[in-house]
Amino acid sequence: MANVRLPDDFFFGAALSGPQTEGMWKAYGKLENLWDLWSGENLGAFYNRVGSYGGNDMGARYAEDFRIFHELGLSSCRTSIQWSRLMDADGHLNREGADFYHKLLAAAREAGVEVFVNLYHFDMPAYLFRRGGWDNREVVEAYVSYARAAFTEFGQEVEHWFTFNEPIVEPEQRYEHGNWYPFHHDFAQARRVQYGISLAHALAVGAFRELQAAGTVRPDAKIGLINCFTPPYTRENPTPADLEAVRMTDGLGNRWWLDLVTKGSLPTDVLDTLAEHGVHLPVRAGDDAILAQGVVDWLGFNYYHPARVQAPKQTVDEWGNPVFSEEYVWPDAVMNKSRGWEIYPQGIYDFAMTMTHDYPDLDWFVSENGIGIEEHHAARTADGRIDDVAYRVPFVADHLRWIARAIDEGARCKGYHYWGVIDCWSWNNAFKNRYGFVEVDLQDNYCRRLKASAEWLRNVAVTHVIED
Ligand code: BG6
pLDDT on residue 383: 86
Q: Tell me the pLDDT tens digit for each residue of 386-398.
A: 999 999 999 999 9
- Ligand 1 neighbourhood includes 433 CB (under 6 angstroms): yes
166 catalytic, yes or no? yes
| Identity of the amino acid at 387 | D
Binning pLDDT at 50, 70 and 90, where does residue 1 land? low
Q: What is the DSSP letter of 236?
A: S
Active-site position among 244, 368, 375, 439: 368
Question: Per-residue pLDDT averaged across 116-127, rounded?
Answer: 98
Q: Is-cis flag, bond preceding 182, omega within 30?
A: yes
What order do you get walking across the sheet with 307-310 strand by strand?
A: 232-233, 307-310, 326-327
pLDDT on residue 380: 83
368 catalytic, yes or no? yes
Q: Tell me the pLDDT tens digit for each residue of 422-459.
A: 999 999 999 999 999 999 999 999 999 999 999 999 99
Question: Per-residue pLDDT averaged across 67-83, rounded?
Answer: 98
Q: What is the DSSP letter of 166?
A: -
**DSSP E strands, 369-412:** 373-374
pLDDT on residue 421: 98
Q: Tell me the pLDDT tens digit for each residue of 227-264.
A: 999 999 999 999 999 999 999 999 999 999 999 999 99
Q: Tell me the pLDDT tens digit for each residue of 344-377.
A: 999 999 999 999 999 999 999 999 999 999 976 6
pLDDT averaged over the chain? 97
Q: Look up the pTM and report it.
A: 0.98
Task: Report angle CA 263, 264, 270 to the nearest 5 degrees.
Answer: 80
For residue 17, the ligand 1 atom closest to its alpha carbon is 8
Question: Per-residue pLDDT averaged across 325-348, rounded?
Answer: 97
Distance in angstroms (rounded) separating the CA atoms of residues 256 and 239: 24
Domains delineated in the chain: 4-466 (3.20.20.80)
Binning pLDDT at 50, 70 and 90, where does residue 420 land? very high
467 or 468, higher pLDDT: 467
